[in-house]
Structure 1
Amino acid sequence: MSARRFSDPALDERALDDATADESTAVRTTADDRRPAAPEASGGEQGEQPTPFTWGGFLGGVAVVLALGIGVRVLTENVPVWTRGTPFGPLAATIEFPIYAILLGLVGNVVVSASGLRDRLASGFRTEFFIKTGLVLLGASINVAVIVRAAGPAVAQAVLLISAVFLFTWWVAGKLGVEERLRALLSTAVSICGVSAAIAAAGAVKAKKEDLAYTASLVIIFALPSIFLLPWLAGVLGLSPAVTGAWIGGNIDTTAAVTAAGTLAGEQPLQIASIVKVTQNALLGVAAIALTLYFTYKVDRTEGAARPSAGVLWQRFPKFVLGFLAASIVATIFSSVVPAASAKPAIGVANDLRTWFLILAFVSIGLEFKASSLKRFGWRPIATFGAATVANLVFGLILALLLFSSFTF
């Protein structure tokens, strides 16, 4: 059970608090700092002074994150066991670690805020570092050879579906007046691979952490019902195993939820669903590059300003994406030259480490959350995500029928 549950590449890049800085100014990232940067006491809002950095506060913050992370792992592994045979048991078996992580992070947030320690400990809530490291490790689970072998219908579906859903979501968000950076996160998340894609988009467009946390919450809220809904609908519609798998893999936004839904649908649908989802995950880098170009040369370029240089573009590009791609290539080569009996445990270790880093990232999101930051989010982003999800289901089913109806195992 834990292997399936902890396969989800999910959540948050510590938002770039200098999101409103002029494009000619170098973007400060965690990797560039000689010591951990002290987050602003306001959580990134303008007009408030940053909390002075202290090593004691930093280490204390990291200790809080680690303690809550261990609690998340305990709950994820044991709640389904503890509730087995109860009315809550079936639901508990579907709850994934991001939910526990964010909830415990929020509880920890209340405790440290009530004690007056939140601002002092905030420098240890290293969301950006945890999530970037987790995503680089995610690359180790994506074998390029698998994508190449499924290059036909899987790649065609991924490209067509991502393009159609992204453009549809972008259009709806624009019509509803959703802010540009949140618009980019919503469009990328619903069209590619959920939270991981939103993270890449957040780095490319310099989104605030509130935007990313909000988008991640929408992804989880919409993904959980899909685990049960899509396999049931596939049965009602009489879809073949290949079409069922392609529909599940192309529409559910998180890898763990895809795995869960594919398992419910059967072994053959699970195989196709995994290949389609892996293909979508591999397009993370393409999305990040495209968004970096768009926001650098259009959205953030002030009128009359000089054309941004290649150096500015490089500063804004989320470099962890390169690590993600490099890890995928290395893992592919490793798996091809090392016997499976030795390769699988090694990849498993990388996947487990990835899970830990993502848990710590999600806990940090909860710890950094401020309710006041959600005031500017109204019904429009929810309406956008809901409309895009419906469009994704329709487009995905059409493409799955066109590309996988003749597929045989």
Structure 2
Amino acid sequence: MSQMDHAQSGTPGFVTWFAATLPGLGLTFGIAVAAMAVQRLSGTPALSPLVVAMVLGIAVRNLIGTPAVAQPGITFSLRRILRLAIVLLGFQLTLAQLRAVGLPGLAVISVTLAATFLFTKWAGRALGVERRLAELIAAGTSICGASAVIATNTVTRGADEDVAYAIACVTVFGSLSMIAMPVLGSLMGMDAAHYGIWTGATIHEVAQVVGAGFQHGAEAGQAATVAKLSRVILLAPMILTLGALARRRGGSAHGSAPTPWFVLGFIAVVLLNSALPLPEGAKAQVVTLTSSLLTVALAAMGLETDLRKLHAKGIRPLALGALAWLFISGLGLALVGLV
């Protein structure tokens, strides 16, 4: 068979795949566009379009129903688009940010992250919370909110309802931190650097960190943002470690745990961005693209979430989220005071 024959035989396969995927992609992208519009119209930068997209997706799934024809596109959004977005997230991070935080700041961030993850896993067992859900709450609380939850689930492989519950937890308690920490920081008379490290090392979402940090002044806001982005870099070793542990356990009920190769892509992009940073204009476009793709992935997650299953999980996971939130906030404050 000639090369032209090979090309022609491959074309129908791609056309068939594209036709099957298009309805679901149209649905997830449509919900993502609506979520970003809601965020802009609200005038609230801390309102994450990721969370809005998930809520809208849940509403469509549970009020209208997800059409079967959309399933291939929804699955593509949850897998391929999500992994691409996490790789592109590396363009927002550089090794210089780690140096800017300094060794004491990095020590606070690393110890707080590791201790919170382990405490949350332990507390989950004590409360009787299912292991996968506890792991997702631990990742979202200790690293970077919704992005960490959906990235960690590539190796944890929890149900979509587990992901939705974990994201709800980190959204609620991260928002409480965004409201409470500026007040507490002022009452305790914290200087900009210490306050920035505290908020950056403990608040769940990047947008929540920015919202809380800049309420204490520009210097505190910049310190908080850099600390938070340094914390996000630790997402890569965390997922690789969890993937290795899952394979040692023999995988999960959903099959053997995959190797999260996309995390290596994330690391490579961070290294590339450190050596050859993008121009500001191009970086802004990549940031927008990354946020948009993550929003699409969360829309797909919402479309896969059954509220009846979510309700059946009860209040214990919410209690776990609260305990994890109190733990990371208190430990971060204590370590900042010591360092």
Taking the TM superposition and a 5 Å limit, the aligned residue runs for 1:304-315 are: none
Query: How far did 1:196 drift?
Result: 2.3
Q: Which runs of 5+ in 1 are unaligned?
A: 1-34, 37-52, 81-91, 303-311, 404-409
1:351 maps to 2:287: yes
- Residues 105 and 364 in structure 1, CA contact (< 8 A), matched pair in contact too: yes
Give, in whole Å, the separation in 2 of the partners of 1:177 and 1:365.
25
1:221 maps to 2:221: no
Give, in whole Å, the separation in 2 of the partners of 1:133 and 1:381.
29
Classify 1:334/1:55 alpha carbon distance in 2 versus 1 (closer, same or farther; 3 Å). closer
2:326: which partner in 1?
A: 390
The residue type paired with residue 317 of structure 1 is T
- Residues 189 and 253 in structure 1, CA contact (< 8 A), matched pair in contact too: yes
CA offsets per residue over residues 73-113 of structure 1, 9 Å max, x none? 22221232xxxxxxxxxxx5542212321232233335652
1:73: which partner in 2?
A: 36
Query: How far did 1:235 drift?
Result: 0.4
CA offsets per residue over residues 43-76 of structure 1, 9 Å max, x none? xxxxxxxxxx975452112112222222222222
2:54: which partner in 1?
A: 102
Query: How far did 1:245 drift?
Result: 0.6
CA offsets per residue over residues 158-185 of structure 1, 9 Å max, x none? 1111122112111111111211211211
- Residues 98 and 359 in structure 1, CA contact (< 8 A), matched pair in contact too: yes
Give, in whole Å, the separation in 2 of the partners of 1:170 and 1:75.
35
Identical residues among aligned pairs (%): 26
Give, in whole Å, the separation in 2 of the partners of 1:106 and 1:372.
11
2:124: which partner in 1?
A: 173
2:156: which partner in 1?
A: 205
- Residues 138 and 351 in structure 1, CA contact (< 8 A), matched pair in contact too: yes
Query: How far did 1:269 drift?
Result: 1.0
Query: How far did 1:380 drift?
Result: 1.5
Aligned to 1:369, the other structure's residue is in SS state coil
1:122: which partner in 2?
A: 71
TM-score by length of 2: 0.88
1:233: which partner in 2?
A: 184
Classify 1:176/1:204 alpha carbon distance in 2 versus 1 (closer, same or farther; 3 Å). same
Q: Which among 261, 267, 273 is matched to residue 331 of structure 1?
A: 273
Write 1 or 2 for the structure with the bigger share of helix.
2
Count the aligned residue pairs: 323
1:159 maps to 2:110: yes
Classify 1:134/1:210 alpha carbon distance in 2 versus 1 (closer, same or farther; 3 Å). same
Query: How far did 1:261 drift?
Result: 0.9
1:193: which partner in 2?
A: 144
Give, in whole Å, the separation in 1 of the partners of 2:211 and 2:25.
32
Give, in whole Å, the separation in 1 of the partners of 2:155 and 2:115.
21
Give, in whole Å, the separation in 1 of the partners of 2:252 and 2:51.
37
The alignment yields a C-alpha RMSD, in angstroms, of 2.4
Give, in whole Å, the separation in 2 of the partners of 1:167 and 1:297.
18
Give, in whole Å, the separation in 2 of the partners of 1:300 and 1:59.
32
1:360: which partner in 2?
A: 296
Aligned to 2:276, the other structure's residue is in SS state helix
